[in-house]
Amino acid sequence: KAGVTQTPRYLIKTRGQQVTLSCSPISGHRSVSWYQQTPGQGLQFLFEYFSETQRNKGNFPGRFSGRQFSNSRSEMNVSTLELGDSALYLCASSSEVRGQTYEQYFGPGTRLTVT
């Protein structure tokens, strides 16, 4: 099976701009989660989507948003970029075998640099 894919892999934006990142989960996986990784804060949960609905949300400002499509692909959007948004953005997918499987598999990430 192909793994989780993310596009683009690298991105450079300027403050105030917005950005959209894309994630395709492992085939058959319906849950997609997004995480932000920075040297100072480590890995932090952004949000999780399941069947096109946001099921969980982390403690990030409203500038961070996401959505999921009927084919389980997901996008996240960051508006009005700030320097502190520079990070590795990771997407993870998991299956929902009888609602009991929580193992999450990460994609390669998108490295966002805000200047």
Partner 1 sequence: QKEVEQNSGPLSVPEGAIASLNCTYSDRVSQSFFWYRQYSGKSPELIMSIYSNGDKEDGRFTAQLNKASQYVSLLIRDSQPSDSATYLCAVIPMDTGRRALTFGSGTRLQVQP
Q: Which residues bind partner 1 (CB under 8 A)?
A: 31, 33, 35, 42-45, 48, 50, 55-56, 58, 88, 90, 92, 94, 102-109
Of 22 and 44, which CB lies nearer to partner 1 in the complex structure? 44
Distance of closest approach, residue 58 Cβ to partner 1, in angstroms: 6
What is the b/e burial string over 93-106, where b = at least 16 CB atoms within 10 angstroms of the residue's CB?
bbbeeeeeeeebeb
Closest separation between CB of residue 4 and partner 1, Å? 9
The smaller minimum CB distance to partner 1, of residues 73 and 111, is found at: 111
- In terms of phi and psi (left: phi > 0; alpha: psi -120 to 50; beta: otherwise), the region of 84 is alpha
For the CB of residue 70, give the shortest distance to partner 1 in the complex, in Å.
20
Task: Tell me whether residue 1 or residue 102 sits nearer to partner 1 (CB atom).
Answer: 102
